[in-house]
């Protein structure tokens, strides 16, 4: 019995020694790959890549991180044969480190590489993006890949391989995804801006983050514009009305189809066409809902019945659960109140819009315009009345920072408001440099007069 115990101890010890030797061997092998890869000496790193993934595939995720950089470098320099190896590298990463790998991000990147290098047919390329999005939409965040995904769908429609409705459906998906990602960035950026406005000094790290958010928002804004340009006039009323008119009788009792058609016509402001009226009446007949009430409000607004339109919009808001639809209703309510001169109420609705979509600078720009128009009634002395324009400029500046799609117009507006505000000579004469002015009426708040 004693001899057996000694034997077991010896065998266990030998196993530990074997494991230790194997670990040491892997440490050396991994180092032979990662060290030249860190220095971007990819030719040297490549010589040991196959050995490290064959013998030490789970030693460290750095193998696959550096492997990706290495193969991308080869591909960018013209070696398209390395695309297959890049795909294998990323699949190994997903296999061995699934919890540390974002599948949607990886699959989208691989699809983009194949597209950029013209690998496969358009349909195969589209299916690669489609698979990435459907498997992990949350982590499919690349603005470039979102555009390519939609662009391929539009190309396939033009080639006769996709229906127009498929293009519309994907357009909605991509626009919503852009909204989500822009919204997250704009919300965080707004928090930093609020801290700055409150006089808080941001750390260098926070300032870099702010710059990154502003840069990425600019990129997303450009992509949104590119998606709209790619969609082109296929989504205009002259194309939409015939598309839905031909199917109306056959599908008028299909509630999903009626909702979709009415929503599309509403979104493109095709509300004057008789088809829209038929769709709205049918929708309210089949299923009185938040959407049907909103569409009825649009019809009343077209007739000039603003009070009746507001009633329908308010009914729609009470019934609505979809954030995107709520955003649209708040915008209509805000615009109705703004045009009626009820600026305080309008601002409340614009702020509700921003709670849903913090990246929509149009709300800040509209508030800025109302503030500027209120300078005579919201200031006391002539100096204070002109000072109201500084508050308008603040809102316009914020619009430019969070929403690159309107940045040019917003900056121009801010410049115009500042030109109407007191200038250096006015500040000096009034002795107001550095002082704080409380603003009256619906504007409220205060502005600080610039120091000379």
Residue 410 domain-assigned (yes or no): yes
Range of the domain at 433: 359-452
The residues that bridge with 438 in the sheet, in sequence order, are: 446
The residues that bridge with 436 in the sheet, in sequence order, are: 448
Residue length, the chain?
452
SS (H, E, C) the chain: CHHHHHHHHHHHHHHHHHHHHHHHHHHHHHHHHHHHHHCCCHHHHHHHHHHHHHHCCCCCCHHHHHHHHHHHHHHHCCCCCHHHHHHHHHHHHHHHCHHHCCHHHHHHHHHHHHHHCCCCCHHHHHHHHHHHHHHCHHHCCCHHHHHHHHHHHHHHHHCCCCCHHHHHHHHHHHHHHHHHHHHHHHHHHHHHHHHHHCCCCCCHHHHHHHHHHHHHHHHHHHHHHHHHHHHHHHHCHHHHHHHHHCCHHHHCCCHHHHHHHHHHHHHCCCCCCHHHHHHHHHHHHHCCCHHHHHHHHHHHHHHCCHHHHHHHHHHHHHHCCCHHHHHHHHHHHHHHHHHCCCHHHHHHHHHHHHHHCCCCHHHHHHHHHHHHHCCCCCCCCHHHHHHHHHHHHHHHHHHHHHCHHHHHHHHHHHHHHHHHCCCHHHHHHHCCCCCEEECCCCCCCEEECCCC
Residue 191: how many other CB atoms lie within 10 Å: 12
How far is residue 243 CA from its own chain's centroid? 29
Q: Note the pLDDT of residue 336.
A: 86
Longest dimension (CA), the chain: 106
Under the banding of pLDDT at 50, 70 and 90, the label for residue 289 is confident
Mean pLDDT of 410-421: 96
Phi and psi dihedrals of 192, rounded to 5? -65, -40
Mean pLDDT of 304-310: 85
Residue 450 domain-assigned (yes or no): yes
Mean pLDDT of 76-91: 92
Q: Note the pLDDT of residue 211.
A: 92
pLDDT reading at 20 higher than 70: no
The residues that bridge with 446 in the sheet, in sequence order, are: 438
Mean pLDDT of 71-79: 92
Residue 194 domain-assigned (yes or no): no
Contact 189, 214 (CB under 8 A): yes
CA gap 268, 254 in Å, rounded: 22
Half-sphere exposure of 35 (CA within 13 A, CB side): 6
The dihedral built from the CA positions of residue 182, 184, 188 and 194, taken in this order, carries a sign that is positive
Buried/exposed 103-141: b ≥16 CB within 10 Å, e otherwise: bbbbbbbbbbbbbeeeeeebeebbebbbebbeebeebbb
Average pLDDT, rounded, for the chain: 90
Question: What separation in angstroms does the CA of 135 have from each of 145, 168, 232, 246, 328?
Answer: 15, 21, 29, 35, 30
CA gap 286, 253 in Å, rounded: 7
pLDDT reading at 140 higher than 70: yes
Strand 446-448 and strand 436-438: the pairing is antiparallel
Mean pLDDT of 151-165: 94
Under the banding of pLDDT at 50, 70 and 90, the label for residue 150 is very high
Mean pLDDT of 141-159: 96
Residue 64 domain-assigned (yes or no): no
And the tokens for 133? 């999005």
Residue 427 domain-assigned (yes or no): yes
Question: What separation in angstroms does the CA of 315 have from each of 136, 172, 295, 320?
Answer: 36, 25, 11, 9
Domain count, the chain: 1
pLDDT reading at 255 higher than 60: yes
pLDDT reading at 24 higher than 90: no
- Matching residue, tokens 């639809």: 325
Q: Note the pLDDT of residue 284.
A: 87
Q: Note the pLDDT of residue 239.
A: 84
The answer to which of 12-21, 273-282, 325-334, 425-434 has the lowest mean pLDDT is: 12-21
Contact 257, 247 (CB under 8 A): yes
Give tens-digit pLDDT for 343-401.
999 999 999 999 999 999 999 999 999 999 999 988 889 999 999 999 999 999 999 99
Mean pLDDT of 23-52: 91
Residue 124 domain-assigned (yes or no): no
The residues that bridge with 447 in the sheet, in sequence order, are: 437
Residue 422 domain-assigned (yes or no): yes
Mean pLDDT of 294-309: 85
Under the banding of pLDDT at 50, 70 and 90, the label for residue 263 is confident
Mean pLDDT of 272-285: 89
Residue 404 domain-assigned (yes or no): yes
Q: Note the pLDDT of residue 452.
A: 80
Contact 270, 237 (CB under 8 A): yes
Give tens-digit pLDDT for 169-221.
899 899 989 999 999 999 999 999 999 888 889 999 999 999 999 999 999 98
């Amino acid at each position: 019995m004693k001899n057996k115990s000694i034997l077991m101890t010896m065998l266990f010890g030998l196993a530990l020694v074997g494991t230790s030797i194997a670990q040491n061997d892997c440490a050396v092998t991994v180092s032979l790959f990662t060290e030249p890869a860190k220095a971007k000496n990819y030719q040297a790193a490549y010589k040991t890549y196959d050995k490290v993934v064959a013998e030490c595939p789970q030693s460290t995720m750095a193998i696959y991180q550096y492997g990706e950089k290495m193969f991308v470098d080869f591909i960018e320099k013209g070696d398209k044969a390395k695309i297959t190896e890049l795909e294998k590298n990323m699949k190994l990463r997903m296999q061995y480190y699934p919890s540390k790998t974002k599948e949607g991000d990886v699959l989208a990147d691989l699809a983009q590489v194949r597209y950029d290098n013209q690998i496969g047919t358009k349909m195969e390329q589209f299916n690669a993006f489609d698979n990435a999005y459907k498997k992990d939409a949350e982590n499919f965040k690349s603005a470039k890949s979102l555009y390519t995904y939609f662009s391929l769908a539009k190309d396939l429609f033009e080639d006769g391989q996709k229906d127009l409705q498929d293009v519309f459906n994907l357009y909605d998906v991509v626009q919503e995804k852009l909204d989500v990602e822009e919204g997250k960035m704009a919300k965080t950026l707004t928090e930093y801006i609020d801290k700055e406005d409150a006089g808080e000094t941001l750390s260098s790290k926070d300032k870099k983050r702010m710059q990154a958010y502003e840069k990425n928002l600019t990129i997303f804004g450009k992509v949104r514009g590119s998606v709209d340009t790619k969609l082109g006039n296929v989504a205009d009323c002259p194309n939409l009305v015939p598309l839905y008119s031909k199917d109306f009788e056959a599908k008028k009792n299909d509630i999903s189809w009626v909702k979709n058609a009415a929503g599309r016509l509403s979104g493109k402001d095709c509300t004057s066409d008789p088809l829209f009226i038929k769709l709205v009446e049918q929708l309210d007949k089949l299923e009185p809902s938040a959407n049907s009430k909103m569409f009825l409000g649009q019809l009343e607004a077209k007739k000039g019945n603003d009070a009746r339109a507001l009633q329908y919009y308010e009914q729609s808001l009470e019934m609505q659960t979809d954030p995107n639809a709520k955003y649209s209703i708040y915008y209509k309510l805000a615009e109705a109140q703004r045009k009626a001169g009820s600026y305080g109420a309008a601002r409340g609705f614009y702020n509700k819009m921003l709670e849903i979509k913090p990246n929509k600078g149009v709300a800040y720009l509209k508030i800025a315009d109302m503030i500027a128009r209120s300078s005579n009634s919201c200031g006391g002395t002539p100096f204070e009345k002109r000072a109201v324009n500084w508050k308008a400029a603040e809102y316009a500046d914020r619009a430019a920072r969070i929403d690159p799609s309107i940045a040019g117009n917003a900056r121009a507006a801010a410049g115009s408001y500042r030109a109407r505000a007191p200038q250096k000579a006015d500040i000096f004469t009034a002795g107001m440099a550095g002082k704080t002015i409380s603003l009256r009426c619906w504007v409220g708040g205060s502005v600080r007069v610039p120091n000379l």
